[in-house]
Structure 1
Amino acid sequence: MKIDKSIFAALAWVSLAVLTVPDSAVAQDDGDNVFAQYREMFGDDNPAELIELQGEDLWSQVRGPKKASLEKCDLGLGPGKLDGAYAQLPRYFADTKHVMDLETRLVYCMVTLQGFSEKDLVAKPFSGRGEQPSDLEALSAFIAGRSRGAPIKVSQSHAQERAAYERGKEFFYYRAGPHDFSCATCHSQSGKRIRLQALPNLTEAAEARKAYSTWPGYRISEGTVRTMEWRMGDCVRQQRLPELQFGSDIAIGLITYLGVMANGEPMNAPGLKR
């Protein structure tokens, strides 16, 4: 199914419109109340659904130098099996001998099955504001949607999976940069916020589950779907640390750590974010 560019222009307009916040709403105590109201306005609808359709088209579309689709891509449950696959990522893959999240696994499949250049794929994995979703963002939205309702089950059975968890946990508490920040600086206390954004306490299982289970998510303020890799990179940026490399051990480790913390929660992605 082809998605008309005008749809994404309309989504951008809607995103700007809903960000016109009444003064009375800002004055309320709940730091996330404004965006909770927007979520309530959307109800069961989520603009991410249109991006999911784009991802579905990309999944089955014959593309690349090898003129192939992604329908034989193995995300951990067997070639082409999508239902519940995202809820079990990151995981160890024997064919690469690495722990991979959804996005790095998709890049692997796009290289091996379709013949795309890995260098080109990771040069700009995320779209800019006002741009159409990147292929990785659209595919992530579609595949995550196929795990909706499935319990999160990030494995720790392989030694490399356990090592990834420990790496992610260590970095979560590692303080560095000009402000001596760590991930835990913002995400280790309940009831905190920054500007209008409530900050989940990711050291508490209940809050970690709620947060993790809704990524990737449609970001109202940016008018597009953002992925877990993007979320990790943006947190590192806000710590004023060097740019987080796409698919790096730190990125995969952080996602593994948070995923294990969220184990057991039904996946509810793509979510609706501020």
Structure 2
Amino acid sequence: MRLIASIFAALITMIPLQGFAGNSSTDEIAKYRQLLADGNPAELWEMRGEELWKKKIGPQSVSLEQCDLGKGPGVVKGAYVELPRYFKDVNKVMDLEQRLIHCRITLQKLTPEQAAAVPFGSTGNPSDIEALVAYITAASRGMKIAVSTTHPKEQAAYELGKRFFFYRAGAHDFACATCHSKDKQRIRLQELPNLLNRTDAQNTYSTWPAYRVSQGEVRSMQHRLSDCMRQQRFPEPRYASDTITALIMFMAKNAEGGVYDAPALKR
């Protein structure tokens, strides 16, 4: 799987971004992505994720097929577009990755360390979590993002995520809002979506997780936000922390109504 993805990444770097004279950089990148739309290597992660979902592991040899992602035990179709959400059995709001860790602990009887081992894959060290995320999110393609904030804890998570979005800190006194609260901002050739703008929020949130060509891996939303924290020079967030889940809740709610289309493909 990794060999095929590496060959794909090597080939697409040969595709030039030049040749469309008179168009903006954003148009060039959009055409570049369109050329790469077919044959997304994320499909390999999706297939591995399905195998892991059905694979019996742990002390009691149990699969994840009874894991309740919010729509009933074992139901993956449409689950992701309603996450994060409140789960009564744990009395808290969880995003997909938190819930997967919970199911691996409670159903498969893995230790917390085993359940969250290798959250982000690298060459020669693939992540089971990223594969499971790819499989589960793919089952919501074509559905509308519909995250609830009706429960008091869902509303509290949204408000915490909103506060964090505007919170300035770190060596550069940055916040998420520094880059993502105005229209038509960019870093180099990279356009920065305004996550307070409904259309931008929908277009952004609906395309994660994604296969990152530059990294040769499928990256989850937890990874994307962790990398944002790194670029802001924040302390590295604890994996699957409630704060990051709250930020995901804020982003997901802002993207409400958007049609989900991931795992996508990114540079």
Alignment correspondent of 1:72: 66
User: 1:190 aligned to 2:190?
Assistant: no
Over residues 111-143 of structure 1, what are the superposed CA-to-partner deviations in whole Å (9 max), with x where a residue is unaligned? 111111112333431112x34541110000000
Normalising by structure 1, we get a TM-score of 0.92
Q: Which runs of 5+ in 2 are unaligned?
A: none
Mapping of 1:146-157 within 5 angstroms?
146-157=139-150
**3-state SS of paired residue (1:225):** strand
Q: State the Cα RMSD in Å.
A: 1.8
Match for residue 246 of structure 2 among 231, 253, 259 = 253
Mapping of 1:32-111 within 5 angstroms?
32-33=26-27, 35-111=29-105
Over residues 40-68 of structure 1, what are the superposed CA-to-partner deviations in whole Å (9 max), with x where a residue is unaligned? 22234311111100001001111112200
| CA distance in structure 2 between the partners assigned to 1:99 and 1:23 by the alignment | 42
Judging changes above 3 Å, is the alpha-carbon distance between structure 1 residues 50 and 38 closer, same or farther for their aligned structure 2 residues? farther
Alignment correspondent of 1:4: none
Over residues 67-96 of structure 1, what are the superposed CA-to-partner deviations in whole Å (9 max), with x where a residue is unaligned? 000000000000011110010000000111
Judging changes above 3 Å, is the alpha-carbon distance between structure 1 residues 26 and 132 closer, same or farther for their aligned structure 2 residues? farther
Contact 1:54–1:138 (CA under 8 A) maintained in structure 2: yes
Amino acid paired to 1:109: C
Amino acid paired to 1:125: P
Deviation at residue 105 of structure 1 after TM alignment = 0.2
User: 1:9 aligned to 2:16?
Assistant: no
**3-state SS of paired residue (2:195):** coil
| CA distance in structure 1 between the partners assigned to 2:157 and 2:19 by the alignment | 41
Judging changes above 3 Å, is the alpha-carbon distance between structure 1 residues 202 and 131 closer, same or farther for their aligned structure 2 residues? farther
Deviation at residue 38 of structure 1 after TM alignment = 3.4
Judging changes above 3 Å, is the alpha-carbon distance between structure 1 residues 43 and 249 closer, same or farther for their aligned structure 2 residues? closer
Contact 1:21–1:34 (CA under 8 A) maintained in structure 2: no
Judging changes above 3 Å, is the alpha-carbon distance between structure 1 residues 123 and 169 closer, same or farther for their aligned structure 2 residues? same
User: 1:174 aligned to 2:171?
Assistant: no
User: 1:113 aligned to 2:107?
Assistant: yes
Comparing 92-101 and 26-35, the one that deviates more: 26-35
Contact 1:141–1:225 (CA under 8 A) maintained in structure 2: yes
Q: Which runs of 5+ in 1 are unaligned?
A: 1-6
Contact 1:8–1:132 (CA under 8 A) maintained in structure 2: no
Contact 1:55–1:142 (CA under 8 A) maintained in structure 2: yes
Judging changes above 3 Å, is the alpha-carbon distance between structure 1 residues 173 and 58 closer, same or farther for their aligned structure 2 residues? same
Q: Percent identity?
A: 49
Deviation at residue 29 of structure 1 after TM alignment = 6.1
- Figure out how many residues of one structure are paired with residues of the other and give that number: 267
Amino acid paired to 1:157: T
| CA distance in structure 1 between the partners assigned to 2:19 and 2:244 by the alignment | 36
**3-state SS of paired residue (1:92):** strand
Contact 1:12–1:222 (CA under 8 A) maintained in structure 2: no
Contact 2:170–2:234 (CA under 8 A) maintained in structure 1: yes
Amino acid paired to 1:251: I
Comparing 39-48 and 257-266, the one that deviates more: 39-48
Alignment correspondent of 1:229: 222
Deviation at residue 189 of structure 1 after TM alignment = 1.6
Contact 1:31–1:196 (CA under 8 A) maintained in structure 2: yes
Contact 1:16–1:221 (CA under 8 A) maintained in structure 2: no
Match for residue 215 of structure 1 among 187, 208, 212 = 208
